[in-house]
């Protein structure tokens, strides 16, 4: 019988254990990776569609629904010009883009064909209390009015900050304008229920008990949507002509 | 009551030896996941599965584990199981895994798991260890579910996401108790369960 207390036995034992566990985890990861990637892509498609108030129904997979409604996608810069035609807008990592200065960002745009006309869906990304929060905001073809919004989070507190993913919160954004009458970008404020911004900026009610997450949503919208100002304005001028 | 002796590890954790209300273990996660009923139930299932498997594996390995690094060995086994549970959920139950993202990782830190490995699996054979894992997982779970029931009912007026407090009550001035969804009320609810439990079981 080997001495279980010896240093040699302990070192060999721990080395073997780590190797076995490491190999097992690597195998599990390799085996499950394709299914996970597909799930994640489908989840992103579902989120994009949710921003345009299109929800999966029975008998149609998310991919089919996405192919039917999202007719075009491209990347613009902060002057609203299309750039990088070779890159798929779907593959852009928004989390990395929002950290760059506004004039260096690649800004994806998803064009969605809905029952009530063409909508432009723009991704947003920011920080909540415990981790990242993100979402998609769809604009009417005038480039000013929000048609729908979808928010998600990684690990906000259930019942508090996590409520931002509920439609009770996100539907408040429907119909808000992000430009004021002078044509300046104002974004949408998220303020405590019962209060309102003094300067007349459009606002929605924050989640009670989720102040940090709510402020995170407000900052996320301002930071992620401002670079799109030129793009959105070009749409409104186009409509007026 | 006549319980077969071999089933004692399965039965005891429900009341006499309950990990939460008698041993006061796993309180931290009992606060974190009980604002709503659904995460509490999924957490119960996940902890029970991880605890049962970890107990069996550690119990099967117990004669080879060097005593000086036994805690590290337990930690590695539990961490590996939790990562596997997380990966499987991501591949086959993506929606559930998204809801529970952080909580799954937090199973590793649940003191009940290390406690049972240390106290039971290291000195018993795999079958009793398996029963002990199931028993403790469910014993932990029923407390979680009871707490979540009251917190969701009074905090949000819903159960499992469905509205149960009728609208006319709100029309007559009833309001959800915002305090219920904050962590302190979980502690107070657990304390109430302990109070009732100790009143009924004078010998504890």
- Helix, strand or coil for residue A53? coil
Distance CA B55, CA B75 (A): 12
Contacts of A43 in chain B (CB under 8 A): 94, 98
Task: Output the six-digit token pair for A141.
Answer: 């073809």
Closest residue on chain A to B68 (Cα): A5
CB contact under 8 A, B90 and A36: yes
Does the structure's ipTM exceed the value 0.85?
no
Question: What is residue A31's predicted lDDT score, i.e. its pLDDT?
Answer: 94
Alpha carbon of A32: minimum distance to chain B alpha carbons (Å) = 6
List b or e across B115-146, with b for residues whose CB sees 16 or more CB atoms inside 10 angstroms. Answer: bbbeebbbebebebbbbbbbbbbbbbbbbbbb
Q: Specify which residues A76 forms β-bridges with.
A: A82, A107
- Mind listing the pLDDT tens digit of every residue in chain B (204 residues)? 566 777 888 888 888 888 888 888 888 888 888 888 888 888 888 899 999 999 999 999 999 999 889 999 999 999 999 998 888 888 888 877 776 766 788 888 888 898 899 999 999 999 999 999 999 999 999 999 999 999 999 988 888 878 888 888 888 888 888 888 888 889 999 999 999 999 998 877
Question: What is residue B80's predicted lDDT score, i.e. its pLDDT?
Answer: 93
Task: Output the six-digit token pair for A35.
Answer: 């299914």
Distance CA A167, CA A151 (A): 9
How far apart, in Å, do the first and last CA atoms of chain A sit? 91
Residue B3 forms contact with A (CB below 8 Å): no
For residue A223, CA distances in Å to A95, A185, B94, B182 come to 12, 11, 29, 30
CB contact under 8 A, A28 and B87: yes
Contacts of B65 in chain A (CB under 8 A): 4, 13
Residue B175 forms contact with A (CB below 8 Å): no
Mean pLDDT of the A105-120 span: 90
Residue B163 forms contact with A (CB below 8 Å): no
8 Å CB contact between B39 and B104: no
CB contact under 8 A, A32 and B102: no
Q: Specify which residues A136 forms β-bridges with.
A: A123, A150
For residue A60, CA distances in Å to A56, A67, B94 come to 7, 11, 18
What kind and span of H or E run contains A136?
Answer: strand A132-139
Among A57-61, A145-149, B39-43, B140-144, the minimum mean pLDDT is found in A57-61
Residue by residue, what is the 3-state secondary structure of B98-117?
HHHHHHHHHHHHCHHHHHHH
Distance CA B26, CA B44 (A): 12
Instruction: Quickly count: other Cβ atoms within 10 Å of residue B162's Cβ.
Output: 7
Residues from A contacting B (CB-CB < 8 Å) are 4-5, 9-10, 13-14, 17-18, 21, 24-25, 28-29, 32, 35-36, 39-40, 43, 130-131, 154-155, 157-160, 208-209
What kind and span of H or E run contains B71?
Answer: helix B70-92
Best of B40, B94, B186 to disrupt the A interface (most A CBs within 10 Å) is: B94
Question: What is residue B147's predicted lDDT score, i.e. its pLDDT?
Answer: 93
pLDDT at A236 exceeding the cut of 80: no
Return left, alpha or beta for A117; rule: phi > 0 is left, psi -120 to 50 is alpha, else beta. left
Distance CA A207, CA A220 (A): 15
Measured in degrees and rounded to the nearest 5, phi and psi for residue B63 equal -80, -10
Question: What is residue A240's predicted lDDT score, i.e. its pLDDT?
Answer: 47
Give the gyration radius of chain B's Cα atoms. Answer: 19
pLDDT at A241 exceeding the cut of 60: no
Domain limits, chain B: 17-148
Mean pLDDT of the A194-210 span: 85
Question: What is residue A10's predicted lDDT score, i.e. its pLDDT?
Answer: 92
Place of tokens 């301002």: A222
8 Å CB contact between A202 and A177: yes
Alpha carbon of B186: minimum distance to chain A alpha carbons (Å) = 13
Nearest to B132 by CA among B2, B14, B1: B14
For residue B173, CA distances in Å to B25, B35, B93, B152 come to 39, 23, 40, 19
Question: What is residue B2's predicted lDDT score, i.e. its pLDDT?
Answer: 63
What kind and span of H or E run contains A114?
Answer: strand A107-114
Closest residue on chain A to B81 (Cα): A25
Is pTM beyond 0.80? Reply is: no
CB contact under 8 A, A155 and B90: no
Question: What is residue A135's predicted lDDT score, i.e. its pLDDT?
Answer: 93
Among A23-27, A121-125, B171-175, the minimum mean pLDDT is found in B171-175
Q: Given pLDDT bands bounded at 50, 70 and 90, which one contains residue A26?
A: very high
CB contact under 8 A, B87 and A32: yes
Beta strands in chain B (DSSP E): 158-159, 162-163
Torsion on CA atoms A205, A210, A215, A219, rounded to nearest 10: -100
Mean pLDDT of the A203-216 span: 89
pLDDT at A1 exceeding the cut of 70: no
Question: What is residue B57's predicted lDDT score, i.e. its pLDDT?
Answer: 94
- Average predicted confidence (pLDDT) for chain A: 88
Distance CA A21, CA B197 (A): 41
Task: Output the six-digit token pair for B190.
Answer: 């657990």
Nearest to A133 by CA among A89, A106, A94, A79: A94
Residue B69 forms contact with A (CB below 8 Å): yes
Question: What is residue A32's predicted lDDT score, i.e. its pLDDT?
Answer: 93
Nearest to A110 by CA among A123, A95, A101: A123
């Amino acid at each position: 019988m080997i001495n279980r207390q010896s240093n040699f036995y302990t070192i060999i034992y721990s080395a073997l254990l780590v190797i076995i566990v490491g190999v097992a985890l690597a195998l599990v990861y390799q085996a499950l990776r394709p299914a996970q990637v597909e799930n994640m892509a489908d989840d992103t498609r579902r989120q994009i569609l949710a921003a345009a108030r299109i929800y999966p129904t029975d008998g149609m997979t998310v991919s089919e629904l996405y192919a039917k409604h999202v007719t075009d996608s491209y990347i613009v810069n902060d002057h609203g010009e299309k750039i990088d035609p070779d890159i798929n807008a779907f593959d852009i990592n928004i989390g990395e883009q929002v950290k760059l200065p506004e004039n260096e960002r690649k800004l994806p745009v998803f064009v969605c064909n809905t029952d009530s006309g063409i909508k432009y869906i723009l991704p947003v990304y920011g920080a909540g209390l415990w981790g990242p929060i993100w979402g998609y905001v769809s604009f009417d073809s005038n480039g000013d009015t929000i048609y729908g919004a979808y928010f998600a989070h990684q690990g906000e507190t259930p019942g508090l900050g996590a409520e931002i993913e509920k439609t009770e919160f996100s539907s408040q954004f429907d119909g808000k304008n992000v430009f004021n009458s002078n044509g300046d970008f104002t974004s949408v404020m998220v303020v405590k229920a019962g209060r309102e911004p003094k300067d007349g900026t459009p606002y929605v009610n924050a989640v009670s008990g989720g102040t940090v997450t709510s402020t995170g949503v407000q900052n996320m919208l301002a930071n992620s949507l401002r670079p799109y100002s030129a793009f959105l304005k070009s749409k409104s001028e186009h409509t007026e002509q | 009551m006549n319980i077969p002796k071999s089933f004692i590890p399965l039965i005891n954790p429900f009341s006499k030896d309950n990990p939460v209300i008698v041993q006061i273990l796993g309180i931290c996660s009992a606060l974190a996941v009980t604002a709503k009923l659904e995460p509490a139930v999924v957490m119960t299932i996940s902890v029970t599965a991880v605890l049962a498997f970890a107990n069996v594996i550690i119990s099967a390995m117990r004669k080879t584990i060097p005593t000086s690094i036994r805690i590290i060995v337990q930690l590695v086994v539990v961490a590996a199981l939790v990562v596997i549970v997380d990966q499987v959920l991501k591949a086959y139950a993506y929606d559930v895994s998204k809801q529970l993202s952080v909580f799954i990782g937090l199973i590793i830190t649940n003191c009940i798991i290390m406690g049972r490995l240390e106290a039971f699996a290291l000195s018993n054979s795999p079958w009793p260890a398996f029963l002990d894992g199931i028993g403790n997982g469910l014993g932990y779970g029923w407390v979680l579910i009871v707490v979540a029931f009251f917190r969701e009912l009074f905090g949000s007026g819903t159960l499992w996401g469905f509205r149960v407090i009728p609208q006319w009550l709100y029309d007559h001035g009833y309001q959800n108790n915002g305090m219920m969804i904050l962590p302190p009320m979980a502690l107070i609810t657990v304390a109430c369960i302990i109070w009732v439990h100790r009143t009924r079981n004078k010998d504890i």
